[in-house]
Amino acid sequence: MSNKKLAVGIVGCGNAAEKYVQNAGRHEILSIRAVADRDQKRAVDFGDRFGLPVCDGCEQLFENPEVQMIVNLTPPDAHYDVVKQGLSAGKHVYTEKPLTFELDSARELVRLAEEKSLLLVSTPFTFLGPPQKTITRLVTEGMLGKVRYFSAELHNGRIETWHPAPEAFFAIGPLWDIGLYPLVHLFKMFGPVARLNAIGQYVIPERTRLDGTPFAISAPDMVTALLEFKGGVEGSMRLSFVIPEAESRRQGLEIYGDEGTLHLGKLFMFDSQITHTPSGGESRIIEPDEAEIPGVDYALGLYHVANHLLNGTQNQIDISMALHGIAVLQAIEKSMSEQDGRNEACWIAL
């Protein structure tokens, strides 16, 4: 393995940045050269805490000749601008999801990257976890025979009970905040979505911040979608900011086939348990193909991208998956809005 390192600069010094920096130390191929944030005090505090150089504003980071790749960890409403600035400055860009909220603007950024011969990557990267890769292999290799149905559930609980500034999450809801996590796994197993139907609910419309300030949510906090893939597989996906993760017994991904069932306990945890129940048989635990990683390695996607750029390995986080994910989320939004107040199903073709 080469001893080269990829020089990265982080834009956005919030909660996500803490996890990325803490996990980056696991990978010698990564070198964090500088950080920046639109709130300069937050950037300085973050830099002091982790011993990292702090730029005087984001522009200085984009102009830093040492930085090869921008890691965009800003709030979602800033993603388009930060990604465009990074690419325009000649940097590769790795951005947290979603790339944008509109397919047209996402395609614009992809074209810009292509024109400049730069790499643009958008998370989620969680399908790279050992149990996630293992269950995908088992399904695609036919362990379950013909797949008849799937059920995917991801719940983030009441974010306002632990996050100091929860309004940004409730402005986009669980659909845009966590919806891509189950979708990328399903894309890996079954390919693209052909059509869908969805409903959104405001289960707890009034929330209270940690400081006691009440606020109203502006997007559904419970989303249920029925998905039909082009290969013929159908199933359901449910997302919420209502049900606590630790209290849900239906959390994760379950695949039902003619020859049995596979269940992944948690979609994005790299030490999640895989359970196989053959048709008419007893359940057993399946060990992942690779060694488990405790919790989540937030820098794992960065590691794979750095390895691709420096050593020519295959890029495993293809931007086409992010584009299809945005198309699916937009279609779910459209289905929810057209179905509001009506009883009939509103199927949206992609």
253-308 pLDDT, tens digit each: 999 999 999 999 999 899 999 999 999 999 999 999 998 889 999 999 999 999 99
Rounded to an integer, the average pLDDT of 150-178 is 93
What is the pTM (predicted TM-score) of this model? 0.93
- Nearest 5°: the CA angle 19, 25, 28 is 140
Please report, rounded to a whole number, the percentage of residues in the chain having pLDDT higher than 90.
Answer: 89
Domain spanning 126-286+328-339 has what CATH number?
3.30.360.10
CA torsion sign, 254 to 255 to 260 to 264?
negative
What is the 8-class DSSP label of residue 98?
P
Residue 347 has pLDDT above 90, yes or no: no
Angle, helices 300-311 vs 15-24, to 10°: value is 60
Domain with CATH 3.40.50.720 in the chain: 6-122+298-317
Q: Flag whether pLDDT at 344 surpasses 90.
A: no
The CATH 3.30.360.10 domain(s) of the chain lie at 126-286+328-339
Q: Which pLDDT score, from 0 to 100, does residue 1 have?
A: 45
> Could you tell me the pLDDT band of residue 339, with boundaries at 50, 70 and 90?
confident
User: Which position has the higher pLDDT, 343 or 89?
Assistant: 89
Q: What per-residue confidence (pLDDT) applies to 345?
A: 58
CATH architecture for segment(s) 6-122+298-317: 3-Layer(aba) Sandwich (3.40)
Residue 236, pLDDT > 60, answer: yes
Query: In the structure encoding, which two tokens stand for residue 27, read together?
Result: 């990978």
Which residues have CB under 8 Å from 192's CB, separation 6+?
Answer: 229, 230, 324, 350
